[in-house]
Each structure stands twice: as C-alpha cells, then as structure tokens.
Structure 1
Amino acid sequence: MSNRITMPVAVHLILTRGDEVLLLRRFQTGYEDGHYSVPAGHLDGDEEVVTAAIREAREECSIVVEPADVRVIGVMHRKSTDERIDFFVRVARWTGDVRNGEPHKCDELAWYPIHRLPENVIPYVRRALEHPQAGIWFESVGFT
C-alpha cells in the first residue's frame, strides 16, 4: 500500500510588460527574505488555480485580472523543506496600476528585463522564468 501525501500548492504570477517581468523582494516573511520572487501565494481550500492567481494579483499587486488573461505556462513538483506543487501562470493584461499591496511582506516591487534578472532571484523561481524560453512545461526539483 502506498502513502498518500497532501502538500502545499502555490500559484506564481509571471506578470510581463514587453520584455520585462515583475519581481518583488521578500521582506519579513521568514522565507527567503531579501531575495526576489514573482508575486505568489498558496491556494485556499476549494479554490481553482486561476481564481487564486486573480486573488494574489489583487492582494499583492493591487490590480484586477480577468480569468481569460491567466494562462498556466508551467508546473513544478518541488522538494525543499517539504514537498510542494507550484503552478506558474502568465498574466499579460490587467486593470489598474501595479503597486505594492503588501508592504509588510515585500519591500520592493519592480520591473526587470527577463534576460537581466537580479542575482538574488530565488533559484526555483529563476528556473521557472527560464522554462518558457527553453520549451519546458514541467520539472521536478530537489529530488535525488
């Protein structure tokens, strides 16, 4: 008999503007503080991936995103301190001005050229940002 596992599931928003991507620098979260990521969050119970992406866009970036403007572009099965599933979605259209909606968790929200990211982007996020150019849709990370 196999062990069934439950694990955290998160959605990561890849907001693009031309050849730039929106990054945030984590602050006072207890996880990867001082490092860059994309806006992201865990799915709430009984919540679809697209719905979670829309919610996170509103909470973290103060923008409104329509379901038709969210496209899943990748999935990562990842093991670090625990096992998780991460969905990566591209959002290229939204309503409103991007601004930091969670200054208690993020001390910078800025656009960066996708080919010149800051050195301290969280490694699995950097990998996910490189995947579309490499034609990769799924990856397992941290399993030996």
Structure 2
Amino acid sequence: MGERFKFVAAVHLFILNEKNEILLLRRYNTGYEDGNYSVVAGHLDGNEEVAEAACREAYEEAGMIIQKEDVHVIQTMHRKSKEERIDFFVTVERWSGELTNKEPEKCDELNWFPLEELPENTIPYIRRAIQNYQQNRTFDSFGWQEDSEMNAAYIDK
C-alpha cells in the first residue's frame, strides 16, 4: 500500500473592525500572487489547532494579539491550486496590540477595506471566500473547473 494522500492546510483570518472593514495585505516579493491583496493567513504547522494557528499568524504578520476564544471558524474551502488544499476561514473581531506590518519583506501594504469595496486585485479565491462569508456560505470548492459557475454548484447554502 502506498503513502496516504495529504492535504496542505491553511488558515485565513477575516479580521474585521467596527466599521465593517476587513484587514487586507498586499503580497510582495513572495513568488505567489505578488502585488495582489489577501488576508492574514498561513499554513498550519502540524500539531496545532486552527484557532492556535490563527493566533500565531496574526501576531507573526500583523502584531495582533488574539485569544483563541475570539477566533470563529466560518468557512472551509476545498481548493485546487498546484496541489489540493483545505483552507479554514475564521473571523476575528477582538484583538490587542498595535497593528504593524511585521513582514515587510513579504508584504508592502497592510490596510483596512470596506467589505463591499475590495480592491480589484484581490486574489480570486480570497474574494470568493469573502463573498461566501457575506452570504453565510460555510463550504466551497474552488479551482477544480475553469468555469466558476460550475464551482458555485458545490456551495453549501
């Protein structure tokens, strides 16, 4: 019997403020989607709960201190990129610490944007996940077929 298939797992943070804005970062010098906007995110390190990974990434990338109980999983996405991925999307509305770009070598902007006015150059699967959040969709598949309307057929309403 061969080796079992393994997913790449990541957590993406929808850090929201009282103005209904989301924190976005513009990727820079990473070799992946550089110049485009994403959210604070990162891979799970293994032997780490999703909420713990979210807290760690928030601090590593943005200097935000988040408590596990303030992390709420709101969506899962089964995504096909270069490899298959499972993305967990979480919301966070409370934090402490000073918002700081702690990875200027990977991010050249960290800023708040209205949920209804995302930058044109938001990474497509991130845009889709934000739309899913706004429509209370908890699951999506993305990148499996070229036709995004076909992907929409798999969304759990």
User: Shift of the alpha carbon at 1:3?
Assistant: 8.0
- Distance in 2 (CA, whole Å) between partners of 1:135 and 1:57 is 23
Letter in structure 1 aligned against 2:104? P
Q: Which residue of 1 aligns with 2:120?
A: 119
Q: Which residue of 2 aligns with 1:90?
A: 91
- Distance in 1 (CA, whole Å) between partners of 2:42 and 2:105 is 15
Letter in structure 2 aligned against 1:11? V
Q: Which residue of 2 aligns with 1:45?
A: 46
Q: Which residue of 2 aligns with 1:33?
A: 34
Letter in structure 2 aligned against 1:16? L
Matched, 1:135 2:139: no
For structure 1, which runs of at least 5 residues remain unmatched after alignment?
none
For structure 2, which runs of at least 5 residues remain unmatched after alignment?
146-157
Q: CA RMSD in A?
A: 1.4
- Distance in 1 (CA, whole Å) between partners of 2:3 and 2:61 is 36
| Cα-to-partner distance string for 1:26-69 (whole Å, 9 max, x where unaligned) | 00111000000000000001111000000000000101100110
Scaled by the length of structure 2, the TM-score of the pair is 0.88
SS in 2 for 1:75: strand
Q: Which residue of 1 aligns with 2:149?
A: none
Question: CA 1:126–1:30 in structure 2 vs 1: closer, same or farther (change >3 Å)?
Answer: same
Range that drifts further, 132-141 or 109-118 = 132-141
Instruction: Give the % identical residues.
Output: 56
Q: Runs of 4+ in structure 1 displaced over 2 angstroms?
A: 1-4
User: Shift of the alpha carbon at 1:19?
Assistant: 1.1
SS in 1 for 2:29: coil
User: Shift of the alpha carbon at 1:122?
Assistant: 0.2
Matches within 5 A, 1:44-123: 44-123=45-124
**RCO greater where, 1 or 2, for CA within 8 Å and sep 6 or more?**
1
Scaled by the length of structure 1, the TM-score of the pair is 0.96
User: Shift of the alpha carbon at 1:2?
Assistant: 9.8
- Distance in 1 (CA, whole Å) between partners of 2:3 and 2:128 is 29
**Alignment coverage as a number of residue pairs:** 144
